[in-house]
Structure 1
Amino acid sequence: MKLVIAALVLIMLSPFYYGYVLKTFTSSWQWMKDLGEDPLYRHYSKFGIKIPKSYAIHGIDVSYAQGQIDWHQVRDMKDGDVCITFAFIKATEGTLTVDPYFKRNWREAAKTGIVCGAYHYFRPKKSGKQQARFFLQTAGVERGDLPLVVDVETLDGKDPMVMRKELKTFIEHIQAKTKVKPIIYSGLSFYHDYLQGHFDDHVLWLAHYHKEELRVRKPSEWHFWQHSDRGKVNGINHAVDFNVFNGDSIAFRKLLIKN
């Protein structure tokens, strides 16, 4: 018996053994990809899109563009290991526009147990402080919500320095009133061009569509990834954005409003 065990140990320590294991693993991986079954980027037929497989917490974001939503159908939909856990809901834009579906979406989504966060579409040509005040008049935060979100994806013809100045003012006002830093949302290119290096201590939500992975300097650099704008969900009659959270359930709960 000792001789058998010793022989097995020698085999397992052999570089030829590890070469065989690696070759087998690589062959299996390639076989799956040849069949269109990328193990890290799988097509989910019910949702109608490919979804990155390395994440356990999935969500959507909605606005008036999705029309009237049946949030119970949204909550109950599942395809394999994917279901909707959270939703970002548009509340306001600039200093005058309230999303016409915000109040209904906010009320009905919360009833189903989906974790919600409200977002504001930021306009750099408007006062950051006025936008923050307007946002808070429409959307508050309660225990168990995601932090408020500022959506920054356009310069509105302004210099990038002006945009960042007004954004900083917006953020400071939101943080002073809620005691929580808002999440920053942006497209990947806009983030790289105008935001990277300026607001790195914030929770970051990036848009980059139809890719196997989000290409940033460090995987820990982002928290939410909007990976598709073509999702199909029961209870929603229009295409919807899909997102993943970069972390487990413990990390997700740590983000939620505590008071």
Structure 2
Amino acid sequence: MRITAHRLAGSLAAAALSLGTLAGIGATAPAAEAATSSVTGVDVSASQHPNGAAINWTSVATTEEFAIVKATEGMSGSYDNPWFGRDFDGAKAAGLVVGTYHFADPGLPAADDAVGEARHYYAVVKSRQGAGVLPPALDIEEAQGLTPAQLRTWVSSFLAESKRLFGRTPIVYTGPSFWDSAVGSTSYGGYPLWIAHYTTATSPRLPAGWTSWKMWQYTSKASVPGISHVVDRNYFNGTLTQLKSFASGTSTTPARNGVCEAGELCYYYNSYEAGSMSDHKASQADYGATQPTCYEFKTAGNGQGTCVKNHAASVWNRTGHTVRVYFNSSYGGAYQSVAAGAKVNLNSTLKNQNASHRTV
């Protein structure tokens, strides 16, 4: 069993203090809270319970709007936060918007470990999923000896399996320097970003591939009523109404604007990029087959409103990476590789028989 500072301290705060520059977080909290958002929340784990002290969630709710609780780390049998259930239930009872996170322990074989960790995470938290709960979150800040290519495989596998299990697009928690050096990919911008960056600036530095953040962990040293240990504090990028909407959402469709932009893969209903178009910001393991939850052709033209699954005829790859379009869901069956920047008609096997795609 690997024993880390996270397992001993059990918190994102401890992780931030120990990794610091490596994660691109920075060591200094802002002198004053940035006027970025009035919606704030904490993330907690075992280290917020020194000598077994409980958190008074009613007091926490006097200053905070949301709480994200560490659930698991690594595979089954590695580490589960012993305070998870009590903190989750206590925060929810106090009226906070609640969520969970999993601390990644990547290793070899990369894909197998990632899937196992996602399944363990889901098994621990599934009984507490439902309306008003934030999407699952992956805390990725250690490479554990994996190369960037191996870590990308690990992250993609974890996110895909989590999305399948939870039915929601997972949140990615990371630091900008760690992500850019250890992962080195711009292909994950379709996932909501929880960015860890401690700075005196009024906005965080974003990792490559993201143009906006959903939550910003701006300090690990906050003093919050009801918690007897310093704690990570976060902004939500939006209003309280938007936070509640984000928590209650059930669709896995990322925000799309009907424009084929840099970083996206775009399907067309007809050959030669004709007809209605559907833009995608990340790998998708399953498009869905029926409305109102499927990924659909979005713009005006032939096929508008039709589900993308088994109806695409051509594609424009603007992700900057090779993308494989698969015959089956979950990246199975025959596939066609589409080079970065390419506009192609799907071949006779894949035309109107597409069920998933993945960046490679």
Query: What is the TM-score of this pair, normalised by structure 1?
Result: 0.74
Residue deviations 1:44-100, cap 9 Å, x none?
xxxx96211121211111000100211111112xxxxxx200111100000021011
Residue in structure 2 matching 1:132, options 115, 118, 123: 118
Asked if 2 retains the 8 angstrom alpha-carbon contact of 1:124 and 1:162, the reply is no
Aligned twin of 1:214: 204
1:234 to 1:195, Cα distance in 2 relative to 1, 3 A: farther
Residue in structure 2 matching 1:149, options 128, 134, 137: 137
Asked if 1 retains the 8 angstrom alpha-carbon contact of 2:188 and 2:209, the reply is no
Q: CA deviation at 1:227?
A: 0.3
Unaligned runs of 5+ in 1: 1-47, 77-82
Aligned twin of 1:255: 246
Cα distance in 2 for residues equivalent to 1:239 and 1:64: 12
* Amino acid aligned to 1:234: P
Residue in structure 1 matching 2:156, options 151, 154, 168: 168
Residue in structure 1 matching 2:87, options 105, 108, 119: 105
Asked if 2 retains the 8 angstrom alpha-carbon contact of 1:85 and 1:115, the reply is yes
Cα distance in 1 for residues equivalent to 2:97 and 2:245: 13
Percent identity over paired residues: 30
Asked if 2 retains the 8 angstrom alpha-carbon contact of 1:49 and 1:230, the reply is no
Runs of 4+ in 1 over 4 A off after TM superposition: 217-220
Cα distance in 2 for residues equivalent to 1:129 and 1:176: 11
Asked if 1 retains the 8 angstrom alpha-carbon contact of 2:72 and 2:121, the reply is yes
1:57 to 1:136, Cα distance in 2 relative to 1, 3 A: same
What's the Cα RMSD here?
A: 2.0
Cα distance in 1 for residues equivalent to 2:185 and 2:146: 18
Aligned twin of 1:115: 97
1:234 to 1:250, Cα distance in 2 relative to 1, 3 A: closer
Cα distance in 2 for residues equivalent to 1:195 and 1:226: 21
- Which stretch shows the higher mean deviation, 184-193 or 100-109? 184-193
Asked if 2 retains the 8 angstrom alpha-carbon contact of 1:50 and 1:210, the reply is no
Q: CA deviation at 1:251?
A: 2.9
Cα distance in 2 for residues equivalent to 1:107 and 1:72: 12
Q: Does 1:89 align with 2:77?
A: no
Q: CA deviation at 1:223?
A: 1.0
Q: CA deviation at 1:166?
A: 1.5
Aligned twin of 2:236: 245
Q: CA deviation at 1:244?
A: 0.3
Cα distance in 1 for residues equivalent to 2:242 and 2:96: 17
Cα distance in 1 for residues equivalent to 2:133 and 2:200: 29
Unaligned runs of 5+ in 2: 1-29, 251-360
Cα distance in 2 for residues equivalent to 1:93 and 1:219: 25
- Structure with more relative contact order (C-alpha pairs < 8 Å, separation 6 or more): 1
Cα distance in 2 for residues equivalent to 1:72 and 1:195: 41
Q: Does 1:205 align with 2:197?
A: no
* Amino acid aligned to 1:150: L
Cα distance in 1 for residues equivalent to 2:154 and 2:209: 27
Cα distance in 1 for residues equivalent to 2:184 and 2:248: 25
Residue in structure 2 matching 1:188, options 165, 173, 176: 176
Query: What is the TM-score of this pair, normalised by structure 2?
Result: 0.54
Residue deviations 1:138-162, cap 9 Å, x none?
1122111110100000101111211
**SS in structure 1 at match of 2:42:** strand
Q: How does 1:68-83 map to 2 (within 5 A)?
A: 68-76=54-62, 83=63
Q: CA deviation at 1:250?
A: 3.8
**SS in structure 1 at match of 2:238:** coil
